Amino acid sequence: MALIRLSDVSYTYGAGYALQGINMAARKGELVGIIGPNGSGKSTLFKIIDGLLRPSQGVVYLAGLPLARKTRKQIAGQVAMVPQENYFLFPFSVKEVVLMGRFPHKGIFQFEGDTDLKIAQEAMELSKCDHLGDRSIHELSGGERQRVLIARALAQEPQVLLMDEPTTFLDIRFRKEFFELVSSLCSQRGLCSLVISHDIDLASMYCHRIIMLKEGRIYAEGSPTEVVTSENIGEVFGCPVLVDKNPVTQTPRVNII
Ligand code: ADP
Ligand code: MG
């Protein structure tokens, strides 16, 4: 069964459509890459799936039930998002930020217990930021902060994980490790994960399926080999490329020409 399903979803911020007629679904254990140029509606799509924005038209279903009938806390118990922008007003420690991920699983006035601390610790180890535990979130590099936000999302123990350009500040090793981590969480723990990324080659290596957006609509959808073609990338990004195959993994490789 689809954990997430969007049925004819459109969204407008006021002037024109940011998303139009979106039909898509993602299952348990699936890793789906979302690609598309700046302004094509990728972040808006995630805000709709996370319930931060209500569709102007259409319905979002989470595990078969309309998202609109759920409270924020109920949604947060099932869906975690690593947002594109992040800003912390207070100099929380890394550990505190990761523990915030436990919030949807707590009652009012209920403090973190040993289980929460253990889950937070494991999440920090998985995203390789456990050595930063006592540091202030304000004193980290972009890549370190991104790994902390990934840990916070994992500590939330979601069924659906949405990550909006999570590899932007990561170096080449952490980019690969990030995709390996998410890929193993999907296959071993049955997580359903949607990743927005401009790392088209890496997304092609690890994602089961790619959805390509253009001007708020789905332009192409299918396996990486079906979607990541010279024609599609050239047309959607307006940039001539030659897509061939990575000689080792045999997955699509984008060469700018
Ligand atoms: P992407 O993540 O693919 O770069 P977005 O979903 O952020 O694209 O934006 C899609 C479109 O919606 C863009 O044209 C953008 O300018 C517009 N948009 C995004 N956020 C807002 C907002 N808060 N108010 C008005 N327009 C917005
Ligand atoms: Mg965006």
What pTM, to 2 d.p., does this model score?
0.94
User: How many A from CA of 33 to the centre of ligand 1?
Assistant: 19
Q: How many angstroms separate the alpha carbon of residue 164 from the centre of ligand 2?
A: 7
The reported pLDDT for the residue numbered 168 is 87
pLDDT at 18 over 90: yes
pLDDT of residue 79: 97
* Token couple for 3: 């954990």
| Tens digit of each residue's pLDDT (9 = 90 or more) over 223-255 | 999 999 999 999 999 999 999 999 999 999 999
Atom 14 (ligand 1): residue with closest C-alpha?
A: 39
Question: Could you identify the atom of ligand 1 that is nearest to the CA of residue 45?
Answer: 6
- For 89-130, how does the pLDDT look when each residue is reduced to its tens digit (9 = 90+)? 899 999 999 999 998 888 767 778 889 999 999 999 999 999
Tell me which residue has its CA closest to atom 15 in ligand 1.
39
Which ligand 1 atom sits closest to the C-alpha of 84?
A: 2
